[in-house]
Amino acid sequence: MGRTVTVATCALNQWALDFDGNLERILKSIEIAKDKGARYRLGPELEICGYGCSDHYYESDTLLHSFQVLAKLLESPITQDIICDVGMPVMHRNVRYNCRVIFLNKNILLIRPKMALANTGNYREMRWFTPWNRSRHVEDYFLPRMIQEITIQESVPFGDAVLATLDTCIGSEICEELWTPVSPHIEMGIDGVEIFTNSSASHHVLRKAHTRVELVNFTTMKEVLVATLDLEDVRSYRAEISSRNLEANKVTPYQRIKVKFALSCFDDICAPTSEPVQWRYHSPEEEISLGPACWLWDYLRRSKQGGFFMPLSGGVDSSAVACIVYSMCLQVCCAVQNGNQCVLDDVRKIVNDDAYTPTDPREFCGRVLTTCYMASENSSQDTNSRAKFLAEEIGSYHMNIYIDGAVKAIWCIFNAITGRLPKYQVHGGSARENLALQNVQARIRMVFTYLFAQLCLWSRGMPGGLLVLGTANVDESLCGYLTKYDSSSADINPIGGISKTDLKSFIQYCIDTFHLMTLRSVVSAPPTAELEPLKKGHVTQADEIDMGMTYDELSVYGKLRKIAKAGPYTMFCKLITIWKEICAPREVASKVKHFFQMYSVNRHKMTTLTPSYHAANYSPDDNRFDLRPFLYNTAWSWQFRCIDEQVSKLESKEVNSKLENAA
């Protein structure tokens, strides 16, 4: 009697609408699973077409090509003698579903539609799919003719069922279903299902790993923490729980799809089982070092560009981006050293050298990262030196340019037309003049950035172009402390979803881990845009003074606004408790009003925000995550009046309390 089974789960680097590449990766994963003795292979959600197709799901082509790929999988000898569980969209009775298609030896066993759709944050599954709300209901799905010719099946089961093999029972969940209060695995387990699968497309967010692992552990207990498991362990564990056994007598049974196939061998008494997985939780700083770096590499190799270009200002944000690229180079060199041929092939395409093998992260960084310090008359020697020394430590190809000539040329044109020239506030100009003078500098930097990104490699006799990296953090985007269409504009931004507070911690991590000693002066320097005149060679402008709030405060505002879903009044009510030891109610009111005025005045900037790595649940990304108006009545008259009334009540209450105590 067989008792040990080996199953395989796969995390593939699928790409929306890349049907050739997706098919190749699916087949390769099945081949690896079989080589390792697995008899069941589980793939990612919507792996055939790629999860991120968005409105392409509406197109009949997406459904057609998904079935064409399924046909190739069914016909392939690689998929024989292993149960394959793949993800794809399926249209059933003119309704589109997010499905698992489970097949064995050219025979489709079950099409299992997703029952709970992800529809918050970055997810819009309800826009394209309908949830299957009929628990334990199964009906016939009539296959397309191209599939019928292969499977010799006219119809197959479609719905909420489980698989009964010769030796066990397997139930399927799809991503979001694990997160629902009443997950399908609960009653599946009571009904005797011994193995649960869950295909997922859940994205990375800082500090989210604990939640994921706890959910999986709670779901499976002893069941899928190992790759090879002993079914008798599951059975004996359950059999002694009397409360579970009583519930099992009452549960409505699932339809079992009978499969003449066993996951175990007949004589496997000596087969070893896998040890339980000991999950290693990364610190937030490690997550920043690893996650965005992998994202950058993925974007670089897919875009077929020759590397990255980024303005390196010598501040925390741009230094953090440079360190993330350096971390990417470390990971690439490590992968190549460990024999990863796919990574090596990508490296050689990017650097345009079929004989090149990266061994030194600094040397490789010099090939794929170009950094540039864009100095003006308002730049300090301190930031210039920090940028130069950091570039030397990580090995980037570094250059210095001076933008004053271009800035003056623009003001000459303006003066020729208007007969006037603006002045900085320190020289007697107005706030409007002061801002315009800063914006011209910032926007000129964007022009130079894209010029050098396009022609830098050409000027060095090398092919290709460079991707521009953005350096705006999530907090600055939230309050709009950036110039629209300035050097924050870029192709991609690895820190656009990361707070200033987390970036400072990440910089310290890089000092300790990568031994980049220049970062000590970076992290200790006050944040500044360096867009206003220096005073005796020293910076007088400070970001937190310009914003009228600290970065720590901004982080709190961001979490309350998005995660706690607080408008101005609710945010005030929460903060008078949170900050009761440091701020009086009237001061809290002033801070909240200032934040919402800054946020609403600058919200239009979010419509042009550079695509960024999503790492914070309070990101203001208007394109995917944080859907809000971009034109507000910035007076917030009703909301602020409610705050003022509450402040008056609190102050009156405090006065009355003091009088009573005095009496």
Annotated catalytic, 45? Answer: yes
Annotated catalytic residue, options 10, 47, 49, 114: 114
Annotated catalytic, 313? Answer: yes
Work out the number of other CB atoms within 10 angstroms of the CB of residue 410: 13
Torsion of CA 640, 643, 648, 652, to 10 degrees: 180
Annotated catalytic residue, options 29, 313, 318, 396: 313
d(CA 154, CA 146): 11
Over the range 104-116, which residues count as b (16 or more CB within 10 Å of their CB) and which as e?
bebebbbbbbbbb
- Residue 589's nearest CA partner among 568, 617, 612 is 568
Q: In a 10 Å sphere around its CB, with 0-12 CB exposed, 13-18 middle and 19+ buried, how is residue 126 labelled? A: exposed
Annotated catalytic residue, options 175, 333, 372, 479: 175
Q: What is the CA radius of gyration of the chain?
A: 29
Annotated catalytic, 342? Answer: no
Spatial contact of 611 and 492, defined as CB atoms under 8 Å apart: yes
d(CA 243, CA 240): 9
d(CA 201, CA 124): 13
537: left (phi over 0), alpha (psi -120 to 50) or beta: left
Annotated catalytic, 645? Answer: no
- Residue 101's nearest CA partner among 111, 91, 113 is 111
Annotated catalytic residue, options 29, 45, 329, 396: 45
Torsion of CA 216, 82, 53, 616, to 10 degrees: 20
Quick one: DSSP state of residue 559?
I
The contacts of residue 389 (CB under 8 Å, 6+ apart) are 518
Active centre residues (catalytic): 45, 114, 175, 313
